[in-house]
């Protein structure tokens, strides 16, 4: 049994709380500043630790428990990879996760290149802004496990709850989640339960967005080459292609294309898929073997509100972004820092007015990044002649304009608009 983690409802070691007003006052004093985080993925786990470091009592409700020690010691490589920027790296350091990750499979990259086939290119280099690297490519499962490994240090309890949430009840002072005949009450509930957030839907928070016509395929390969330091994206009329250098000998290929085209690849053998990759992708640094692959749809969505009463959304529950530049989890980690700052200054951490401060702080930045990714996606994925000329001129100008390029680069790795 892992320290700080409860497996199954019967092992929960705290009382469920009813929402009648007389009991509210008594339990309020016993569980002051109690927070429930729903969802123990990368963003939810980071949120829980950040608040625990600030002295709040934190519990996590999660569908499936994991064994972080087993994941961190496993040789199994996760096909799901995130491009962790310097802002996120600093946060993971503060939370105690980054030291563990540095002992595991981790790949810093120094260069990022965007180019068209036979056309101009735009190259970002860490040397241009006097830094050692732009970020790291890290498997999602390792990030999550390294965060879960910290739970015991902060007495964060994880409750395994496979039932769907059936009701959210709120009073002036408390919020209660109902799962079947189980209830959990806190001063604040943080929804970190992903793009298909049950809590967001149950709170009647609407979303705006769409599904892109294309799908995306991720391919884990074993590459016969030294450690690569450059991640690149090639724009083609049928969609972007990308190379993400994981710790050698592994790398991840990203292939955007028509949904039907990629769905037809799902049942191919590694050898058959390799043939298609050789025909589609630029030449890689060495020979490679396909390990595994997965196809998924692309969705953009943005919650109409980030909070409702004492419920607040973070990460994909609030916004999902085109994964073109791997910024999704970085935006989620920026949510974590912004919300923690607001709550640290709040007398009542569930105060709806304070939660709206967090929304104002994050909504503009999230929307800006979503719009930038869409502009790149739509602007480069076509062969309209005037637009082809315009983007060629843009790449030339951007690559030769040092101050502007460096400002974009600093924003991409730090999330700072200043």
User: How many Å apart are CA 312 and CA 114, to the nearest integer?
Assistant: 36
pTM over 0.75: yes
Task: Tell me if 293 is assigned to some domain.
Answer: no
Spatial contact of 128 and 402, defined as CB atoms under 8 Å apart: yes
Position of tokens 């030339």? 396
Element (DSSP H or E) covering residue 94: helix 86-94
For tokens 């009450």, the residue is: 185
* Cα 262 off chain centre by: 23
Q: Supply the pLDDT for residue 302.
A: 93
Which helix (H) or strand (E) element contains residue 60?
Answer: strand 57-62
* Residue 397, domain member (yes or no): no
In a domain, 112, yes or no: no
In the numeric block, which tokens belong to residue 216? 């995306």
| CA distance linking residue 95 with residue 57, whole number of Å | 16
**Number of domains the chain contains:** 1
Percentage of the residues of the chain whose pLDDT score is greater than 90: 67
pLDDT digits (tens, 9 = 90+) for 145-164: 999 999 999 999 999 999 99
pLDDT at position 30: 35
Instruction: Provide the residue range defining the domain that includes 320.
Output: 5-70+144-208+301-374
265 in any annotated domain = no
Residue 257 lies inside a defined structural domain of this protein: no
* pLDDT tens string 193-242: 999 999 999 999 999 987 777 899 999 999 999 999 999 999 888 888 99
Residue 103 belongs to some domain of the structure: no
Name the one residue in this structure whose structure tokens are 């530049």. 325
pLDDT average, residue stretch 36-64:
97
For the domain that residue 351 is a member of, what is the CATH number? Answer: 3.50.50.60
Tally of CB atoms within 10 A around 259: 16
First-to-last alpha carbon distance for the chain, in angstroms, is: 46
pLDDT for the residue 66: 97
pLDDT for res 417: 47
Residue 235 domain-assigned (yes or no): no
| 126 touches 81 (CB < 8 A) | no
In a domain, 109, yes or no: no
Span 70-104, pLDDT tens digits: 999 999 999 999 999 999 999 999 999 999 999 99
Return phi, psi of residue 313, to 5°.
Answer: -105, 140
- Given a cut of 50, whether residue 173 has pLDDT beyond it is yes
34-38 vs 188-191, strand pairing mode: parallel
User: What average pLDDT does the structure give for the chain?
Assistant: 85
């Amino acid at each position: 049994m892992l320290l700080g983690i409860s497996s199954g409802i019967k092992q929960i070691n705290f009382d469920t709380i009813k929402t009648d007003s007389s009991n509210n006052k008594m339990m309020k004093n016993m569980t002051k500043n109690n927070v429930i985080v729903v969802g123990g993925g990368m963003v939810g786990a980071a949120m829980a630790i950040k608040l625990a470091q600030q002295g709040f009592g934190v519990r996590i409700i999660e569908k499936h428990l994991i064994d972080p020690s087993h994941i961190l010691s496993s040789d199994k490589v996760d096909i799901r990879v995130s491009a962790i920027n310097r802002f996120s790296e600093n946060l993971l350091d503060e939370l105690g996760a980054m030291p563990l990750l540095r002992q595991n499979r981790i790949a810093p990259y120094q260069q990022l290149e965007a180019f068209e086939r036979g056309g101009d290119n735009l190259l970002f280099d860490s040397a241009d802004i006097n830094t050692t690297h732009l970020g790291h490519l890290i498997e999602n499962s390792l990030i999550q496990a390294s965060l879960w490994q910290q739970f015991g240090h902060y007495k964060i309890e994880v409750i395994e709850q496979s039932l769907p949430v059936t009701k959210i009840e709120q009073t002036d002072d408390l919020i209660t989640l109902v799962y079947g005949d189980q209830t959990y009450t806190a001063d604040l509930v943080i929804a970190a339960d992903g793009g298909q957030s049950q809590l967001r839907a149950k709170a009647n928070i609407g979303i705006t967005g769409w599904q892109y016509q294309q799908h995306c395929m991720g391919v884990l390969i074993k590459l016969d080459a030294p450690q690569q330091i450059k991640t690149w994206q090639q724009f083609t009329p049928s969609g972007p292609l990308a190379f993400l250098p994981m710790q050698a000998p592994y790398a991840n290929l990203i292939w955007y294309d028509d949904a039907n085209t990629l769905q037809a690849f799902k049942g191919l053998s590694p050898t058959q898929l390799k043939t298609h990759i050789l025909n589609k992708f630029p030449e890689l640094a060495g020979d490679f073997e396909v390990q595994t692959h997965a196809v998924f749809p692309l969705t953009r969505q943005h919650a109409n509100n980030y909070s409702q009463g004492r419920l607040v959304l973070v990460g994909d529950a609030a916004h999902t972004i085109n994964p073109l530049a791997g910024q999704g989890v970085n935006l989620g980690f920026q949510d974590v820092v912004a919300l923690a700052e607001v709550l640290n200054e709040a007398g009542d951490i569930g105060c709806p007015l304070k939660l709206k401060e967090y929304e104002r702080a994050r909504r503009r930045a999230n929307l800006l990044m979503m719009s930038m990714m869409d502009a790149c996606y739509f602007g480069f994925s076509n062969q309209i002649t005037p637009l082809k000329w315009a983007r060629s001129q843009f790449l030339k100008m951007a690559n030769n304009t040092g101050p502007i390029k460096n400002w974009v680069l600093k924003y991409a790795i730090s999330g700072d608009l200043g």
